[in-house]
């Protein structure tokens, strides 16, 4: 069993829809949770960073962490075609040490 | 402010050869990590360097080695290349004392033929 599980998709939604992306994990020591966006053939770009449980909002993006369920989510409101990319969840047991990534979910927003 | 920069961006090597990839961290960052990302997969941690020493290592064979220089830049070396080493190699940097966020470069695409 992988430490971090992420549905690879692909996920295709119409422009303006609310997108929900999720990851589950097995290592209860994880405390730091991140979402990265990766455009085709580019490096990952940090979107959201969360420590421990709770919600964090930044513009159209909301990250949620539920440590009791070992489940994290990223919500994208009013999705745009420019949001089309692969979204990677990542986590670590100590701040900014070794990151363990999910497989990535490929998202397409259709105009 | 330059972010994490990597070179070369693309390269093709023959099985059995050796390759060196280079990374300059984001300004103010002193800790560098390397990741391997196979097509359709998430990045896998190779190792991390801080104060010119390897601090943490992932599940990669000794064919993968690295170095960090006094100016915090880093190199990744891979010996005896295998076809399965074909991947995007990503460098990431952070500030050790204060930084809890990791920034990635655009990567080096390695194809082994």
Q: Could you read off the pLDDT tens digit of each residue along chain A, which spans 111 residues?
A: 789 999 888 999 999 999 999 999 999 999 999 999 999 889 999 999 888 888 999 999 999 999 999 999 999 999 999 999 999 999 998 755 789 999 999 999 999
Contact B91, B37 (CB under 8 A): no
CB contact under 8 A, B104 and A44: yes
B chain contacts of residue A32, beta-carbon cutoff 8 Å: 100
CB contact under 8 A, B102 and A45: no
**Across chain B, where does the E strand assignment appear?**
5-7, 10-13, 19-24, 31-37, 44-50, 53-57, 64-68, 74-78, 87-94, 103-104, 108-112
B75 lies within 8 A of chain A by CB: no
CB contact under 8 A, A102 and B107: no
Structure confidence by residue, pLDDT tens digits, B45-77: 999 999 999 999 999 999 999 999 999 999 999
CB contact under 8 A, B102 and A34: yes
CA angle B14, B89, A105 (to 5 degrees): 120
Contact B74, B49 (CB under 8 A): yes
Query: Picking from A100-104, B36-40, B100-104, which range would have the lowest pLDDT averaged per residue?
Result: B100-104
B94 vs A4, A96, A101: nearest CB: A96
Residue A12: what pLDDT? Answer: 96
A chain contacts of residue B42, beta-carbon cutoff 8 Å: 4, 6, 88, 90, 101-104
């Amino acid at each position: 069993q992988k430490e971090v599980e992420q549905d690879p998709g692909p996920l295709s939604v119409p422009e303006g829809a609310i997108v929900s992306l999720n990851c589950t994990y097995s290592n209860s020591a994880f405390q730091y949770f991140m979402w990265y966006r990766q455009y085709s053939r580019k490096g990952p770009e940090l979107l959201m960073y969360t420590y421990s449980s709770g919600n964090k909002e930044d513009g159209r993006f909301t990250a949620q962490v539920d440590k009791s369920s070992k489940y994290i989510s990223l919500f994208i409101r009013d999705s745009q075609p420019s949001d089309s990319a692969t979204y990677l969840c990542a986590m670590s047991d100590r701040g900014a040490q070794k990151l363990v990534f999910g497989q990535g979910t490929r998202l397409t927003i259709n105009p | 402010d330059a972010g994490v920069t990597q070179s070369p961006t693309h390269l093709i090597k023959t099985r059995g050869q050796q390759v060196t990839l280079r990374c300059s961290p984001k300004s103010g960052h002193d800790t560098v990590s390397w990741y391997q990302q196979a097509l359709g997969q998430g990045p896998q941690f190779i190792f991390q360097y801080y104060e010119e020493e390897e601090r943490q290592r992932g599940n990669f064979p000794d064919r993968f080695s690295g170095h960090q220089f006094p100016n915090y830049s880093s190199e990744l070396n891979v010996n005896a290349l295998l076809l399965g080493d074909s991947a995007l190699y990503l460098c990431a940097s952070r500030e050790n004392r204060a930084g809890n966020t990791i920034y990635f470069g655009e990567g080096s695409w390695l194809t082994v033929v």
